[in-house]
Amino acid sequence: MQELGLIFRALLRNKVGALLISLQIALTLTIMVNAIFMMQQRSEQMLRPSGLDEANIFYLSNTVFAQDYNQQVYLEDDLALLRQTDGVVDAIQINAIPMSGGGWSMGLQTEAGEGKDSTGVAVYMVDDHAINTMGLELLAGENFSQTDIEWRASSQNNWPAKTIITKAMALALFPDDWQSALGQTAYINQAEPMQITGIVKSLQAPWNGWSGVERSMLVPYKMETTGGRFMIRTEAGRRDELMPIIEKALSESNKGRIIRRVTTMDDTRERSYRAHNAVNKILTSVIAVLTLITGFGIVGLAMFSINRRTKQIGTRRALGATRGQIISFFMIENLMISSFGVLLGVGGAIGLNIWLVSTFSMAPITPGLIIMGVIVLYLVGQVAVLYPARKAAKISPAIATRTA
Amino acid sequence: MLTMNNISKVFQTDEVQTHALRDFHLKVNEGDFISVTGPSGSGKTTFLNIAGLLENFTSGTFMLDDIDISKLNDRDRSKTRNEKIGFIFQSFNLIPDLNLYDNVDVPLRYQGLNAKERKKRIVHHLEMVGLGSRMKHLPSQLSGGQQQRVAIARALATNPRFLLADEPTGNLDTQMAKSVMTLLEEINQQGTTIIMVTHDDDLANRATRKIQIKDGRVSELDVVRDNAEVNATEQAIA
């Protein structure tokens, strides 16, 4: 630290190289901090619970092609077969799968009529076995009873009298007190009343990028459809064993349909967040490459500076500098260059984040992340300069007496 | 203050051994002004590097103020250089990015002196060499002679026990060389011991002791002259 002022003043007279490295550090910090922030946000999204017992759930498609297929009868047969299979906890017919990317949405409103505020909600048409099959946690109210379940013909447009909604949906409809939603009437299709008879803790919508992903509703329907799905929950650890057994059993029980796309919820989650994962990997690579380039830049500048100043270093040694003082000379010089870069970088990181927040409605960056980025870049700088600095310290003081 | 006995320095490559110094003896007393001459390759620079603790020797004994130099590690050698030896180089070796004030400040910072003491010494020594009004100038803004004066101020600022001058006038024209030499003589008369390597016999003759190195040995021992003789030489040169 003895040469602090001297190093600073010498740097001011050799600005170009140092300035370029400072700008590189600033750019790296700007991109690094925002990239890590975006990765963090994606990781948080990927870690959100869907509300389902994902590890033990799979689903399959039931595609009907036979002309004389009695859907109402065969649905009951299928559900009975599934529920009676050894190792199956429960099973339902369902119109959409959480996180799958495809499903139904409607608007619910607390007042009937056109022009009233409505809140978007994902619709799951299920029977009274849904809570048990999905592994949902009922926070308030009660499950559907068998008598609540209606048969929904393919041409039917009206809605049943009851619904179970998620806590997030309850909060959206009744922001002051989500529990007050229980027993209230909400209106679907602007005017059709549905009584909220239950509130579950969470159940994600099929669309993971939707801002209302936590807003879902269960509707007590069994559906007439040629392309329905069954969701099956197994006892812990038996999912993979039961998947082919159930596929075979269903296929053989009725030849008027095809059973296909037997898929686990784990696979669905992985597919759903594949793009997030890919982006995170790309961002990680970008950060790593940028950091490496910055590190190499610092090594390069330091090596160039040492080669240019070999005699000067020898002279300093002749004048009494120890090897440690030569090392600390370069470390401090790098600290100064890094500090300028970091200062610019913090401004850049905040500026870029403000732009991202205003353009893409992202959350503002946390100060902790900026501090972490600053520490990382200081460390990169110090580690990068260590090798050249040690090389400089090995320069013999006798070089000072050489005339060339 | 400085005694070298049987000093030898051997440079070893894979195939060749070069004896830069052999059986080298020298005793330097307080207040000496010694000139060291000799043909190119005779070992003058090697002697200077060893005397200035810039290089290790192969064998022999080197005592500096009762310190056995062979027993010092690199850190202690640096400290000893900083505290006891002032260097004046042929190419001045000023740091081009620092102004005169900062250049003189460099070895003082290694001594760990406080800012007030450093300032006092820097100003005093720059004024002593006649550059008190140019402290904020860069070396590139000065003539060669002025740069060498800054180097002398830098060498003296640490209050060294002796000055080692390596061809201090080698890069200067006659007029500037004379002025630098006069300055060195004044410094010597104030009590600083000086060892000066030079090619120039006229300058060498102005020293109070003169030794010649040939083939790594002192070939002509200590021609000691008194001040009257030196003054006579000066007048003859003038």
**Residues from chain A contacting residue B91 (CB–CB below 8 Å):** 403
State pLDDT tens for residues A75-103.
999 999 999 999 999 999 999 999 999 99
In A, minimum Cα distance to B74 occurs at: A322
For range A206-212, the mean pLDDT: 92
Domain residue extents for chain A: 4-47+274-401, 54-271
Q: What is the pLDDT of residue B238?
A: 40
In B, minimum Cα distance to A9 occurs at: B98
| Confidence category of residue B180, pLDDT binned at 50, 70, 90 | confident
Q: What is the pLDDT of residue A295?
A: 92
Mutate which of A11, A311, A315 to disrupt the B interface (most B C-beta within 10 Å)?
A315
Min Cα distance B113 → chain A (Å) is 9
Min Cα distance B161 → chain A (Å) is 14
The CA distance from A91 to A249, in Å, is 14
Min Cα distance B9 → chain A (Å) is 14
Neighbours of B111 (CB within 10 A): 17
Describe the crossing of helices A15-47 and A323-360 by its angle, rounded to 10 degrees.
Answer: 50
Q: Select the residue of A312, A324, A325 nearest B95 (Cβ to Cβ).
A: A312
Q: Select the residue of A14, A323, A403 nearest B91 (Cβ to Cβ).
A: A403
Give one DSSP letter per residue of B184-203, joined into a string: HHHHHHTT-EEEEE-S-HHH
Is-contact A96 A134, C-beta < 8 A? no
Q: Cβ contact (<8 Å) for B78 and A321?
A: yes
- Measuring CA to CA, how many Å separate B209 from each of A43, B21, B169? 81, 20, 18
Is it the case that residue B233 has pLDDT exceeding 80? no
Is it the case that residue A162 has pLDDT exceeding 70? yes
Q: What is the pLDDT of residue B226?
A: 55
Is it the case that residue B234 has pLDDT exceeding 50? no
Q: Select the residue of B87, B90, B170 nearest A319 (Cβ to Cβ).
A: B87
**Residues from chain A contacting residue B107 (CB–CB below 8 Å):** 319-320
Q: B205-227 as b/e, with b when 16 or more CB fall inside 10 Å? A: bbbbbbbbbeebbbeeeeeebee
**Residues from chain A contacting residue B144 (CB–CB below 8 Å):** none
| Confidence category of residue A19, pLDDT binned at 50, 70, 90 | very high
The distance of Cα A20 from the centroid of its chain, to the nearest Å, equals: 35
Min Cα distance A24 → chain B (Å) is 24
Min Cα distance B122 → chain A (Å) is 14
Greater model confidence, B14 or A1: B14
Q: Cβ contact (<8 Å) for B109 and A311?
A: no
Is-contact B166 B89, C-beta < 8 A? yes
Termini Cα distance of chain B = 33
**Cβ of residue A311 closer than 8 Å to a chain B Cβ:** yes
**Cβ of residue B135 closer than 8 Å to a chain A Cβ:** no
For range B18-23, the mean pLDDT: 90
Q: What is the pLDDT of residue B143?
A: 92
Q: What is the pLDDT of residue B237?
A: 44
**Cβ of residue B103 closer than 8 Å to a chain A Cβ:** no
In B, minimum Cα distance to A6 occurs at: B102
Min Cα distance A28 → chain B (Å) is 29
**Cβ of residue B161 closer than 8 Å to a chain A Cβ:** no
**Cβ of residue B160 closer than 8 Å to a chain A Cβ:** no
Is it the case that residue A53 has pLDDT exceeding 90? yes
For range B32-44, the mean pLDDT: 91
Ordered by where they begin, the domains of chain B are: 30-57+76-237 (3.40.50.300)
Greater model confidence, A68 or A195: A195
Min Cα distance B107 → chain A (Å) is 5
Q: Select the residue of B93, B98, B154 nearest A311 (Cβ to Cβ).
A: B93
Note the residue count of chain A: 404
Greater model confidence, B18 or A165: A165
**Cβ of residue A9 closer than 8 Å to a chain B Cβ:** yes
The CA distance from A314 to A398, in Å, is 7
Q: What is the mean pLDDT of chain B?
A: 88
Is it the case that residue A2 has pLDDT exceeding 80? no
Q: Cβ contact (<8 Å) for A319 and B107?
A: yes
**Cβ of residue A287 closer than 8 Å to a chain B Cβ:** no
Is-contact B18 B6, C-beta < 8 A? no
Residues 6+ positions from A186 with CB-CB distance below 8 Å: A108, A109, A110, A163, A165, A173, A193, A194, A196
